[in-house]
Amino acid sequence: MSRKKIEIKSIGNKRARDSCFSKRRTTIFNKAKELAILCGARVAAVFFSPRGRLFSFGYPSVSAVANRFLADHGPNNSTVSSSTQVEGGTDAVIRELEHRERELKDELVRASSQSELLREAKMRESGERMMDVVLHGRDEAGLNDLEEAERLLTEVEVIIEERKNKMLNVEG
């Protein structure tokens, strides 16, 4: 059985036209995929439906094929190869990610510095109040105040020890 020859003309019925577009689009995408797999060809197919929706297929990708095409046939007709174009795009993404990583690391350093400054300010404020309670023997100081003073003194001791070790490591 042979297939019936179809006259190529616009299909009047909207439903039939949409159905035909969907079936033929799928067929062309399958053929493009087969061509890419069987022959190792770089393929791109781009369609806009009658309703304006975009459908595309590309191997290795539509943008890679488009970059290759533009490199070979673009307005400047440059001699840049497709692999350079694709790698250039990848390099741009990598550079952007590295830039973002540096920004986040800088932000982390700033946040750590601010955290340390806030911690020191809090300790200074609490320490001054607690030292006043301890040194001047205020009668209103309760057990909680004394325990808080002890905790702060322990923290101060740890900080002093850390700074001393840093200084010894720098000098040594």
**Domains assigned to the chain:** 14-61 (3.40.1810.10), 88-171 (no CATH)
Tell me which long-range contacts 116-123 makes (C-beta under 8 A, separation of at least 24).
Answer: 123/152, 123/155, 123/156
Question: Rounded distance, CA 77 to CA 80, Å?
Answer: 9
- Is residue 133 within 8 Å of 145, Cβ to Cβ? yes
Burial of 65 (0-12, 13-18, 19+ CB in 10 A): buried
Average pLDDT, the chain: 80
Structure confidence at residue 49 (pLDDT): 84
Question: Rounded distance, CA 130 to CA 150, Å?
Answer: 9
Residue 18 has pLDDT above 80, yes or no: yes
CA atoms within 13 A on the CB side of 2: 3
Model confidence pLDDT, tens digit, residues 76-98? 554 444 444 444 566 677 777 77
Tokens (6 digits) for 92: 């741009």
Question: Rounded distance, CA 18 to CA 55, Å?
Answer: 14
CA distances from 149 to 39, 103, 113, 144, 145 (A): 79, 39, 25, 9, 6
Provide mean pLDDT across the span 45-51: 86
Model confidence pLDDT, tens digit, residues 113-124? 888 888 888 877
